[in-house]
């Protein structure tokens, strides 16, 4: 058969993606410095210059997580791989794990427990609410043989933030390890691994770090190191076996494990460096500063939040779609007319909520004003009674009341 028979019917040209403003649940806009870093010359993953940069990544990551954990590195894969790495290394068949479910990603944790042979004890809370510490303690009292407590610090499907410090204290009280999802919170709201006593934590590169998707920062306590070292069975994943990966991410002699995504790691290095330059406290404050303005604008449009104020993630704003509004059409017009991306609801919230991200580089004053003006214009065109210019004016007033920069 002629090779021409396999050519695509449609002529394929160089792909040029449109320029979007990313204000959904992730990814966020990538800073030009990070994009530029990715374009630098590719090195071999065992090149001494590259491995020196890996050490810097580990140091910068420890700062971001606020930990001195030796086992702090980046997994080659998205946050979902970071999640699975925690469960596959820490669970052996028959182990009991309390999993807190208050959204989509708590449900994924349950899947991980069951797929790795563990027994999931599920603590459910209403979507949009944080994990209830009392329910967790009650479950631990009923299940004294529990090995691990797993929960989402930041539930991306709802925008709810749980009290990680308290939950970890409860887990320690019952001699349990913890697995904590911080995919949407790292860099945007306080995370203090050592102070809170978190044992295993994972995140993603594409949210508040404003790095392209595909890498998952993780960190493990010495308690996890000892647990993995003393397993009775082999870790069920070769690729995600911490013991094998440390032979590559270790600080002394490095042995080949897999071909690391070198240029992607350049990008992560740059994004973590930018976070260190800004300072964690400043980054946390910036996310809240812009959230307050966005919230003020939403109020003029009659849009209400899914999550109560005291449990709300400033970087992930879930709001109910106004009555009578075609939520899909609004998202389509934002994308087509303004090249602005926002997120739809997931699971129980599908068709009922919008999710607006204010993460990393996307968390800027100009994005808040642009988003409010675009949303106000579309809702007005669709027949909703709004006062033109009121949303942006409310946001500007909030900025004036609380100057940060």
- Tell me what the mean pLDDT of segment 264-271 comes to: 98
Q: Tell me the backbone φ, ψ of residue 230, rounded to 5 degrees.
A: -105, 20
User: In the block, which residue shows the tokens 């999802």?
Assistant: 181
Percent of the chain with pLDDT over 70: 99
Q: Are residues 195 and 81 in the same domain?
A: yes
pLDDT confidence tier of residue 405, bands split at 50, 70 and 90 = low
- Boundary of a domain, candidates 236, 260, 276: 276
- Boundary of a domain, candidates 248, 276, 304: 276
pLDDT at 244: 87
Q: Return d(Cα 23, Cα 372) in angstroms, integer.
A: 12
Q: Return d(Cα 55, Cα 247) in angstroms, integer.
A: 13
Look at residue 327 and tell me whether its pLDDT is greater than 70: yes
- Tell me what the mean pLDDT of segment 63-76 comes to: 96
Q: Are residues 110 and 257 in the same domain?
A: yes
Residue at 53 is within a domain: yes
pTM: 0.96
Torsion angle, alpha carbons of 47, 50, 51, 53, to 10: 170
Question: What's the CATH number where 346 sits?
Answer: 3.90.1150.10
Q: Return d(Cα 92, Cα 108) in angstroms, integer.
A: 18
Q: Are residues 142 and 184 in the same domain?
A: yes
pLDDT at 6: 83
Sign of the alpha-carbon dihedral angle for 142, 191, 129, 341:
negative
- Number of helices (H) and strands (E) in the chain: give both, helices first: 14, 14
- Tell me what the mean pLDDT of segment 109-137 comes to: 98
Q: Which helix (H) or strand (E) holds 377?
A: helix 365-381
- Tell me what the mean pLDDT of segment 155-180 comes to: 98
Q: Are residues 210 and 291 in the same domain?
A: no
pLDDT at 259: 86
Q: Tell me the backbone φ, ψ of residue 19, rounded to 5 degrees.
A: -85, 115
pLDDT confidence tier of residue 45, bands split at 50, 70 and 90 = confident
Residue at 14 is within a domain: no
Q: How many domains does the chain have?
A: 2
pLDDT at 257: 85
Q: Are residues 102 and 69 in the same domain?
A: yes
Q: Are residues 45 and 99 in the same domain?
A: yes
- Tell me what the mean pLDDT of segment 338-356 comes to: 96
Q: Are residues 268 and 283 in the same domain?
A: no
Look at residue 348 and tell me whether its pLDDT is greater than 90: no
Residue at 17 is within a domain: no
Residue at 193 is within a domain: yes
Give me the domain span that covers residue 289.
279-401
- Is the separation of the CB atoms in 265 and 215 below 8 Å? yes
How far CA 193 is from CA of 5, 198, 313, in Å, comes to 57, 5, 18
Q: Are residues 75 and 185 in the same domain?
A: yes
Residue at 377 is within a domain: yes
Q: Are residues 248 and 366 in the same domain?
A: no
- Boundary of a domain, candidates 239, 260, 276: 276
Provide the angle, in degrees to the nearest 10, between the axes of the packed helices 365-381 and 327-338: 120
Q: Are residues 187 and 332 in the same domain?
A: no
Q: Are residues 266 and 364 in the same domain?
A: no
Question: What's the CATH number where 205 sits?
Answer: 3.40.640.10
pLDDT at 252: 64
Q: Which of 354, 77, 67 is nearest to 216 (CA)?
A: 77
Strands 353-357 and 343-344: what pairing? antiparallel
Torsion angle, alpha carbons of 112, 114, 120, 125, to 10: 50
Q: Which of 253, 252, 246 is nearest to 228 (CA)?
A: 246
């Amino acid at each position: 058969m002629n090779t021409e028979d396999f050519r695509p019917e449609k002529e394929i040209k160089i792909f040029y993606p449109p320029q979007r403003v990313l204000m959904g649940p992730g990814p966020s806009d990538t800073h030009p410095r990070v994009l530029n870093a990715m374009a630098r010359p590719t090195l071999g993953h065992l090149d001494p210059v590259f491995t020196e940069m890996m050490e810097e990544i580990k140091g910068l990551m420890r700062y971001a997580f606020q930990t001195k954990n030796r086992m702090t590195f980046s997994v080659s894969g998205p946050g979902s791989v970071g999640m699975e790495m925690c469960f596959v290394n820490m669970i052996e068949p028959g182990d009991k794990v309390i999993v807190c479910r208050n959204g989509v990603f708590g449900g994924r944790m349950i899947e991980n427990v069951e797929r790795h042979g563990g027994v999931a004890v599920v603590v459910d809370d209403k979507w949009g609410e944080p994990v209830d510490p009392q329910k967790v303690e009650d479950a631990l009292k009923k299940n004294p043989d529990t090995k691990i407590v797993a929960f989402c610090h930041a539930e991306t499907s709802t925008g709810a933030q749980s009290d990680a410090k308290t939950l970890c204290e409860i887990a320690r009280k019952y001699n349990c390890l913890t697995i904590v999802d911080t995919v949407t919170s790292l860099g945007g709201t306080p995370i203090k691994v050592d102070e809170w006593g978190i044992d295993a934590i994972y995140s993603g590169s594409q949210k508040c770090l404003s790095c392209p998707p595909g890498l998952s920062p993780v960190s493990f306590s010495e308690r996890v190191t000892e647990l993995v070292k003393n397993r009775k069975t082999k870790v069920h994943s070769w690729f995600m076996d911490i013991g094998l990966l440390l032979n590559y991410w270790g600080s002394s002699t490095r042995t080949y494990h897999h071909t690391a995504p070198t240029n992607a790691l350049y990008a992560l290095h740059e994004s973590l460096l930018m976070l260190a330059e800004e300072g964690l406290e400043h980054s946390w404050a910036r996310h809240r500063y812009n959230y307050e303005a966005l919230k003020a604008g939403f109020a003029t449009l009659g849009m209400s939040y899914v999550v109560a104020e005291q449990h709300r993630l400033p970087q992930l704003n879930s709001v109910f779609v106004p009555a009578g509004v075609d939520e899909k059409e609004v998202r389509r017009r934002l994308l087509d007319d303004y090249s602005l991306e926002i997120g739809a609801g997931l699971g129980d919230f599908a068709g009922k909520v919008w999710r607006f991200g204010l993460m990393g580089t996307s968390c800027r004053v100009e994005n808040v004003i642009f988003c409010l003006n675009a949303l106000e214009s579309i809702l007005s065109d669709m027949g909703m009674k709004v006062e033109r210019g009121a949303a942006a004016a409310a946001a500007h007033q909030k900025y004036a009341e609380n100057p940060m920069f």
